[in-house]
A and B are shown apart, each in its own frame.
Chain A
Amino acid sequence: MKLHTHWPLLALLTPALAQGGMNDDPVLGMFNVKQLEGAYSEGDTRLAWNIEGWLGTDLHKLVLSSEGARLDGRSEEHELRLLYRRAIAPYWDLQLGWQHEPLADKRDDRALLGVNGTAPWYLETEFNLLAGPGTDLTAELSLEREIRLTRQWVLSPEVGLTAHNFSDREEHQGSGLADLDLELRLAWEVRPDFAPYVGVTWERKLGDSADLARDSGHDVDETLWRVGVSFWF
């Protein structure tokens, strides 16, 4: 075993440890626009995105992701994550890093620890714990399964769940299970790396979060219609 097997960061910094000019594990970069879409709901059309870029090797990656939405030229929500993602099993990665919300009024950075991978039956799974500020904890889980209808038409149901150990009245976040998202996307895979899609998402606030939303006169559920494109290179 060579040094970089034990010192993963070395592998990122010194790509060419190959012998005879061969390198089975080059440092690669991927720019993955998972979703770039117009999301229509109750008369408003937002521009929404979920983009992930990584730089790394087979087992070690540095990941920067951005997820957010803009309405009328103004960003409404935006989460930035910087993660170190490390393979821990054939189908599973551990991820460790930081979440920053540029739009939050107060400084709202959180540490993130999670796993990301493929569960049996090809369930794409991501589970993250976000910590901060103080003892605040948020857990998020998402499960997605691609169902290939034909060679090019792919249906993707997705379930997302969020829970908190704290309450935040302004943000309508209550302790316990807080949000449920059910999403269905139908993609036309023109190429493996380019697929326009249409989708629908039903978002529902749960438990205390729903109560907080109701108390301030807000809806507890929302249906969004999406038209967008995903691509990577």
Chain B
Amino acid sequence: MHKDLLRLARAERAVKRHLAVCLAAAVLAGLLVLVQAELLAGVLSGRFALSALVFLALVVGVRALLGWVQGVAGGRTATAVKSTLRHRLLGRLQDLGPGRLSAHRSGELVTLTGRGLDALDPYLTGYLPAVAIAAIVPVAVLVRLFVADLASAVIVLVTLPLIPIFGALVGMHTKAVTERQWHALARLGGHFLDVVRGLPTLRAFGRARHQAGVIEQVADAHRAATMRTLRVAFLSSLVLELAASLSLALVAVPIGLRLLSGSLDLSTGLLVLLLAPEAYIPLRMMGTRFHASMEGVAVADQAFAVLEEETGRPAGRAVTGTGIPEIRLENVTVRYPGREDAALDDVSLVIAPGERVALVGESGAGKSTLLHLLLGFVTPSAGRVTVGGADLTTLDLDAWRSRLAFVPQRAHLFATTVAENIALGGDHDGAGDGPGSGDGSARSSGDTSGNGSARTSGNGSGADAGLASVRAAAASAQAAEFVEALPQGYDTVLGERGADLSAGQRQRIALARAFHRPQAAVLLLDEPTARLDGRSEAAVIEATRALADGRTAIVVAHRPAMIDLADRVIRITEGRVTSDHPAATIGDSS
């Protein structure tokens, strides 16, 4: 039993009710099998008149009805549990913040909250009812058998425990095997996907056909290893099956002999024959369901592990004053879990209001971490960050972020219209409204949910005002030209992760987002011109220069043009500030 899942089921009222109905129906239907056996044995032995078949029909009908109720309630339980878990997981992701979402885990989480949770279905709709049945029905069968025929009851009583014992052995074995070999399976299974994804590269080097053979070999190794495991796993279930069917033989043959000698009547004999298997079936069923639900258990573990992960910290409440704050880093060290080297190592900086700072250094030196620090995505493991004199950890992060305009290295474009992508968060009515956010409140754009509905964003004067500001932002980011060339212009819906656009175009949409925040006090740009050709770069730099006017700008820069925009250049090498000069002298120092 999964403790966390059961706790969740108990805590959520809807889940609790549906689960109770599901389990009750399952147990009742299981108990009705006893009545059915009783009636059938009676009719077959001639003890009951043929008219008893009416009752039998009734029992069958009720069993079917209960089965239906169990299925419906089970389905409701499953969807309720999945919805609850998904909601909690997604909420949790936001508490953790983007800084903690390492790249390799984000894919895992998308799978987990999507199809991954479906693995809970067999557990909730199959295993849990099977457990309930297994807990009650065999006992009821045993009681009835003791009343009917002591000798048979004793045989069943003695052999019955073999099933859970073997079941536990099988379970323990497969669990150990699963845990031990999970990674091996993932690697072998992942090999095919890896090769398919890398096919263009293989093709370029004439290795594509060679890999067909490798795929075969890996599949063979996979199969051989799987079969080795299965031989053992199935051997245990062979023993299980034997125990069940041999017990039936053990019961049936003596009954036959005792009937022969006249020490037993036929009705009882048939009843025992019909009932004896019913004592074993629930236990074996539970075993089967358990195996089918193993994946669900793993998923539940994974989900609850995410839920129990430590959050960064409780959210602060303080709000900085208006105006452009001074940013101060005091001996800040940032460490990412599982990494030995600090991403930032004892960094102290003061960035005056209105300063334009270029961060330079090799990739991986810690420049992006510095931006993430200011965004509150990561928190210092030592030292502190203050903005306008207030410790960043005490600030209301939403309010603080509403005063930032950020362009990440690889911005995510949402599967919605261009206009909505640019106006992201535009009509957010959270705290810390800047001077420019008033005009955004009437917009219908910025809604990330819409596909079809979003296209209608162009009506009403508020929407027009919104669109005008989107257009202005796009023009500033050098995006207007290509956006207007798209089939539906600003209403064009972008494809899977913005796949319709080139890297440079995506980058300019992301820039337009920043331009769409004229109220921002601080600009944080992470290589904004990395994927642009020279002409677009020059234009974007011009626009950035205008945007930076009257604000603090902190720009991770690779290209000289961007660096020259700054009036101060800070070089970061392996997490430390190694030079910090006014822009004019940078040429001499390097």
Bound together: no
CB within 8 Å of B: which residues of A?
none
